[in-house]
Structures are given as structure tokens and as C-alpha cells.
Amino acid sequence: MKRVLVTGANGQLGLALQGAAKDFPLDLVFMDKNTLNITNANAVKEVFSTQSFDVCVNTAAYTDVDGAESNKELAYAINGMTVETLAKTCKQTGCWLIHISTDYVFDGTLDRSYTPPDTPNPLNVYGASKLAGEQAIQAVGGNYSVVRTSWLYSQYGNNFYTKLQAQLDAGKTLQVTADQEGCPTRAEDLAAHLLTGIANQQLAKGISHYCGGEVMTWLDLARRLFPNQKVSEWSGASSLAIRPKKVVLKNNNSSTV
């Protein structure tokens, strides 16, 4: 049975992987930021020298898109430099590195869906730091799969769905922006895609895309997720980080919204 390390285990995707774990014939070892802070190179090396892993799924990341604009160093440290250390350690130990990246590596100006070899051009610090991570993995080489995804949401952690639910619980009405289009992706579907791909040894090597099969705005998604609530369009101030207007990742395998 393959032994699989999952980093960032208390994040949205990490929790979705934990939720799906029992359905797969894999020996999954979950480490959160307290157990393994991936920016601590010595801790990473120690974990890999004292334990043996066939696969490492790196879900740990700095994911605050607006926060990254003023925390550039931290975003690059977690999403870029650290990923290089992880890639080198995986290569040295013969471990298959599966890393998650984002549609925000693209600028959204193409009038067709983006394929993995399309040229990235991130518009914000978060996207640039994630691109730095991708490039570090490619430069190190070894056995790797970089899976780009978009607009993750789920019942787990802090995300679009749970934030809106929290607003409803607090008695607020929902107001959501409609100025972006993308492909929302259920974190549970991505988790199943990754675990199936690991178990069957079928996950694409190199860079691939995985996202939901429908293009919509955040407003459309909110109305889909909360059909019995009034959701109006937010027309207030725009967010700090510039976001691409429309990125549709061309899927290797699409999921349902």
C-alpha cells in the first residue's frame, strides 16, 4: 500500500482529503502546520529522513489573495521557496510530489479555455508566488504532478461556501460580486480525483488541470449553493488584489459543480 504524506492537512483541501481517506487503499499520513511547518527546511528534511513516503501531496499554501499584496515575502516563502525545498527532498528520496496550483497563474485575456502549456501571466502577488512554486518544481525535476485548480469550495475550512453560510447564520443578507467568471470546483471532487489518481497511478505527470465543468460568476455560484436565499449583486468597492476577469481551465477530467 502506498504511503502518502499530506501537508497543510487542516486546510480546506487537506480536510477534504481526510474526509475521503477511508474510501481508498492508501496509507495516508496527515500533517498540519503545527506538525510540519513546510517553511522549516530542517523539519521537512527530518520528516523525510525518519519516515518513508511514496507520495507527498502538498496542499499547504499561503492562500489569502488580498493579504498577499502586503505580505509578499511570506507568500513567496510558502508558495515558492518552500516548494523548491519540498521538491528537492522528494527527488532525493524518490517520492512522487503532487502539488496544487491555481488558475490565478493566468491573466484571463485568452478568449478560449487555458491548456497546461499556455503562457502564465499572473496579475497578483498570490498568482505570481504560486507560479514561482510551479517553476521551482519544474526546475528541480524528479517525479512530480502539478494540478492547477480553480475556485475551490466545500463544507470544509474557510472558503466561499462556509463564509456565506456564516453570514446567513449571523442574520445577514448575501451580496456577492459578479465581476469574475471561472470554474468552481468542489474540494471533495478534487480530493477524490487526487486519491483515485494516486491509488491507480493514473494522475497526469507534469502540469495538468482539474476543475468543475461549468463556467459561472461568484454570484451564480452563490445562487446555486443557496437557492432559497435572496442573493443580490455586490457593487461596492473592488478587492485589493487584481483578479483575472475570466479563466476557464481546460480540464483533463471535469467534475460537477
Ligand X SMILES: NC(=O)c1ccc[n+]([C@@H]2O[C@H](COP(=O)([O-])OP(=O)(O)OC[C@H]3O[C@@H](n4cnc5c(N)ncnc54)[C@H](OP(=O)(O)O)[C@@H]3O)[C@@H](O)[C@H]2O)c1
Residues that bind ligand X (CB under 6 A): 7-8, 10-13, 33, 37-39, 59-63, 78, 100, 102, 130, 149-152, 157-159
Q: What are phi and psi of 162, to 5 degrees?
A: -70, -30
The amino acid present at 61, given as its one-letter code, is A
Closer by beta carbon to ligand X, 1 or else 125: 125
Report d(CA 130, CA 121) in Å as an integer: 11
Secondary structure class of 255 (helix, strand, coil):
strand
Q: Which residue has the cell 498570490?
A: 126
Closer by beta carbon to ligand X, 31 or else 174: 31
Note if 156 is an active site residue: no
Distance of CA 38 to the CA centre of its chain: 16
CB of 101 to ligand X, least distance (A): 6
Report d(CA 32, CA 5) in Å as an integer: 11
Q: How far is CA 159 from CA 55, 56, 192, in A?
A: 26, 24, 19
The alpha-carbon radius of gyration of the chain (Å, integer) is: 18
In the complex, residue closest to ligand X by CB = 11
Secondary structure class of 101 (helix, strand, coil):
strand
Closer by beta carbon to ligand X, 44 or else 231: 44
Secondary structure class of 95 (helix, strand, coil):
coil
Catalytic entry in 114, 126, 144, 161: 126
Closer by beta carbon to ligand X, 102 or else 145: 102
CB of 105 to ligand X, least distance (A): 10
CB of 171 to ligand X, least distance (A): 26
Closer by beta carbon to ligand X, 140 or else 150: 150
CB of 197 to ligand X, least distance (A): 15
Cβ–Cβ < 8 Å for 133, 156:
no
CB of 106 to ligand X, least distance (A): 11
Indicate which residues carry an active-site annotation: 126
